[in-house]
Amino acid sequence: MKIGVVGCAGRMGRNLIQQVVAAKGAGAELAAVCDRPGYASVGQDAGALAGLESLGIKVSEQASAVFAASDVVIDFTTPEATERHLMLAVDYKKALVVGTTGLAAAFSARLEEAGCQIPIVAAPNMSLGVNLLLGLVEKVAKALDESFDIEVLEMHHRHKVDAPSGTALALGRAAARGRGVELSETAVRSRDGITGARRAGDIGFATLRGGSVVGDHTVIFAADDERIEFTHKAGNRSIFARGAVRAALWCARRPPGLYGMADVLGL
């Protein structure tokens, strides 16, 4: 399975190259990679860029070249770049794996429309542990009434540009589904000053940034005299890259549709 990587010079991009190469035994083959025009990475060997032996694959500045050479392309870039890559995937009729966070809500409609033509796996977090956590949060939220307040706490490295994280919002949506409500109507994403008492049924978010934290997420169900907490801590970005490569191998063999990691993992 020929796999391409766009945005290959970032932290996730280099991890993706490593994991595609590591998955050779599972049928993965790195086909092409690219980065933004003018970046220092352009023209370098993809293997050297990722700390591996030479792979004989040069970093291109043309995303179209990656789609032309690949069966499936993995995208952990920016919302603006992902929109362009989605159009390329449709034009070239190639499968796409999207792990980009910070995507606008309206982009979901474009993903669904594109899913009528090509297979797409889109998920804010591709680790097995987080996807198990999403299922647990939904089940617990369904089992508990509004006497249990729900709060989502997340922490990431100082360089992360979006907040709350895509995973935190996904956890909030899982809790809202369990409660049978819309997250847009119940989410409280900031508190400052005299806010008044907490409103029953709200789903709160708290965001921390600092250091090199890869990603910590905790969902708290707090009632009088007792509290239930579910926590996932990512120690290395390779867990997301491994999940993305697994999704790519799964996705490229599927009919057109918009899929999630629950589909990939059979959850």
Catalytic residues, by residue number, are 156, 160
As a whole number of angstroms, the distance between CA 262 and CA 188 comes to: 27
Give residue-wise pLDDT tens across range 113-151: 999 999 999 998 899 899 999 999 999 999 999 999 999
Q: What's residue 265's pLDDT?
A: 87
Task: Domains for the chain: give ranges and CATH numbers.
Answer: 2-122+237-265 (3.40.50.720), 128-234 (3.30.360.10)
**Given this model, what pLDDT does residue 253 score?**
87
- For residue 164, what pLDDT is reported? 95
Quick: pLDDT tens for 161-207. Answer: 889 998 999 999 999 999 999 999 999 999 999 999 999 999 999 99
Given this model, what pLDDT does residue 124 score? 83
Strands (E), the chain: 2-6, 29-34, 59-60, 72-75, 95-98, 119-122, 149-156, 187-188, 203-209, 215-223, 226-234, 257-259
Instruction: Give the pLDDT confidence of 225-245 residue by residue, as tens digits.
Output: 999 999 999 998 899 999 999
* Tokens found for residue 267: 């959850």
Name residue 223's beta-bridge partners. 226
Query: Using one digit for the tens of pLDDT, what is the confidence trace for 244-264?
Result: 999 999 998 899 999 999 899
pLDDT of the residue at 264? 93
pLDDT for 10-60, tens place per residue?
Answer: 889 999 999 999 999 999 999 999 999 888 999 999 999 999 999 999 999
Contacts of residue 247, Cβ cutoff 8 Å, sequence gap at least 6: 97, 121, 123, 126, 261, 264
Q: What is the pTM of this model?
A: 0.81
Q: What is the pLDDT of residues 72-110, one digit of tens each?
A: 999 999 999 999 999 999 999 999 999 998 888 889 899
Cα 138 to Cα 34: distance, rounded to the nearest angstrom: 38
Averaged pLDDT for residues 217-225: 98
The whole-number pLDDT of residue 22 equals 96
**pLDDT tens digits, one per residue of 146-172:** 999 999 999 999 999 889 998 999 999
* Whole-angstrom distance, CA of residue 58 vs CA of residue 60: 6
